[in-house]
Amino acid sequence: MSKNIQTVRGMHDILPAETAAWQRLEQILRGLMHAYGYQEIRLPLLEKTELFSRSIGEVTDIVEKEMYTFEDRNGDSLSLRPEGTAGCVRAGIQHGILHNQIQRLWYMGTMYRHERPQKGRYREFRQLGVEVFGLPGPDVDAEMILLGVRLWRQLGLSDLRLELNSIGSAEERLRYRDGLVKYFTAHRKLLDQDSLERLERNPLRILDSKNPAMQQIIADAPPFSDCLGSESLSHLDGVRAILDQAGVEYTINPKLVRGLDYYNLTVFEWKTTALGAQDTVCAGGRFDGLVEQLGGSATPAIGFAIGLERLLSVMQLQDKQETYAPDACLLITGQVSAAIGMQLTEMIRDALPHRSIVYHCGSASLKSQLKRADRSGAGFALIVGDEEQQAATITVKFLREDRAQNTISRAELANFLENEINRANGRK
């Protein structure tokens, strides 16, 4: 017998039991974006490979090892997007919506990276990406961070810590790079294989190493601040002044760099203590050079991305997740026809458009219908039998309360049910 086909390694189905939590999170994220005046942009999952190598950088983990790249039937090299910024900038340039304009944009969707799957690290995962174009900051840098603060508060999460750094201008990074190469070359013996390769090709990446054995030598490396000029320092001070005024706590992490080449000045990460090694829930920074690098006119920009699986894991650990249950189930018994049952359910849905009413399909005894309704988590069973049909009533049975059932006229049912649902929800 052939084996059943399974998902691709590192990719996951999101099952019905989990979608309520996803939907609630997505709804909150959409509301948050609206509250800050950001507009949604929807982008293809596939782009030309060149887009990513030209933006993320040839010598980065993503481009070197993690992309799903293939030739399509025309022989064009295409890649599944490993992140959203490159595609967003491409679209902005292609449609002329960046030049001399301010754009506050967001997108949500799957990203693909061929990494070693482990908790919090998958090959298909979801991000909310947020990008602002046309504002040189530092005020907008702080806005991005305040947006995060508000989100964690809305989700009731208290353990996310903010790390902030400036990685300066391209010239400052070159100067810093020289110092790093000197430092790491002097400590060559302590470097792992990955870092030795990075030392040759992209030494800043060493600071981004996840290898625990590398952490001490990284901690002792020279800090970026040594190489920052007055403009970069005052930009960082500008961000800090707003955060301080708003009472936002943060640590300056002078070794914080990002895994992609296009960043400059402000970079930041929100980290949690709840997830072990995969501790970064949200990461971002300024990328003032990217639009020009991809062929547009020079446009300041900043963005961040939230890893939604990681965010949901934190919420789950703190028991902040939602589950779905219908509000009520309609059951028929006796001689009542499915046509009548279905019609009554439609009427209730007309009257209560925001409630979830499930019709019992199929034939079964009242007892087993009630069992099924109970198992669904519904609060109420609405029963229509011969007597109810005769008298134009519906019997409401309370599935979550020890309470005598109630027979209500059809005309009053919607009001009655709405009140009872509200009362029950208030009790939760």
- Provide, rounded to whole angstroms, the least separation between the CB of residue 53 and ligand ATP: 15
Terminal CA-to-CA distance of the chain, rounded, Å?
Answer: 49
User: Do residues 43 and 91 lie in contact, with contact meaning Cβ atoms separated by under 8 Å?
Assistant: yes
230 Cβ contact list (under 8 Å, min separation 6): none
210 vs 56, 163, 195, 213, 267, CA distance in Å?
19, 16, 11, 9, 18
Give Rg (Cα) of the chain: 28
Work out the burial of residue 414: count CB atoms within 10 Å of its CB; fewer than 13 is exposed, 13-18 middle, 19 or more buried.
middle
Report the nearest approach of ligand ATP to the CB of residue 423 (Å): 40
Q: In angstroms, give the least distance from the CB of 271 to ligand ATP.
A: 9
Per-residue b or e along 203-222, where b marks 16 or more CB atoms closer than 10 Å to that residue's CB: bbbbbbbeeeebeebeeebe
> For ligand ATP, which residue has the nearest CB?
307
Name the residue nearer to ligand ATP (CB basis): 307 or 341: 307
Q: Which is nearer to ligand ATP, 262 or 359 (CB)?
A: 262
Closest to ligand ATP by CB, 121 or 400: 121
CB 382 within 8 A of CB 330: yes
Question: Where do contacts with ligand ATP occur on this chain (CB under 6 A)?
Answer: 83, 113, 115, 120-122, 125, 127, 259, 278, 280-283, 305, 307, 309-310
Closest CA to 303 of 83, 94, 67: 83
Nearest approach, Cβ of 210 to ligand ATP (angstroms)? 7
User: Which has the closest alpha carbon to 396: 371, 379, 411?
Assistant: 379
Shortest Cβ distance from residue 305 to ligand ATP (Å)?
A: 4
Please say which residue, 279 or 387, places its beta carbon nearer to ligand ATP: 279
> Shortest distance, CB of residue 301 to ligand ATP, whole angstroms?
15
In the complex with ligand ATP, which residue's Cβ is closer, 184 or 304? Answer: 304
Whether residue 104 contacts residue 37, with contact meaning beta carbons closer than 8 Å, is answered with yes
Least distance in angstroms from the C-beta of 343 to ligand ATP: 47
Q: Give the residue with the Cβ less far from ligand ATP, 280 or 406.
A: 280
How far, in Å, CA of 256 to CA of 234, rounded? 18
Distance CA 339, CA 336 (A): 8
Cβ nearer to ligand ATP, comparing 81 with 235: 81
**207 vs 357, which CB is nearer to ligand ATP?**
207
Give me the helix-helix angle, 16-35 and 308-317, nearest 10°: 110
